[in-house]
């Protein structure tokens, strides 16, 4: 099991880096974690419409787009 955890941590680092690169505004830890999960599952954080809304400061639209 320790090997799986180590592999996951190595794998998740590239998704965290992708989120960091896509973000232009500060976010809370739980928002960053949710964005990382989104990117891990979709691989499309850079193309996601929710990022355009979030980076423009429109958190309500970003949240709605996250759920789409």
Q: Can you spell out the DSSP letters for 14-36?
A: HHHHHHHHH--S---HHHHHHHH
> What CA–CA distances, in Å, run from 16 to 11, 27, 59, 62?
9, 13, 20, 18
> Which domain does 55 fall in, by range?
2-67
* pLDDT-derived band at 8, boundaries 50, 70, 90: confident
DSSP conformation class of 68? -
Q: Are 3 and 35 in contact (CB under 8 A)?
A: no
For the segment 21-37, what is each residue's pLDDT rounded down to a tens digit? 999 999 999 999 999 99
Q: What is the pTM of this model?
A: 0.87
Tally the domains of the chain: 1
């Amino acid at each position: 099991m320790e090997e799986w955890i180590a592999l996951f941590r190595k794998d998740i680092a590239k998704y965290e880096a992708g989120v960091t690169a896509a973000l232009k505004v500060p976010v809370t830890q739980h928002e960053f974690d949710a964005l990382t999960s989104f990117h891990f599952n979709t691989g499309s954080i850079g193309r996601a419409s929710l990022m355009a809304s979030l980076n423009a400061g429109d958190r309500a639209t970003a949240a709605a787009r996250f759920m789409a």
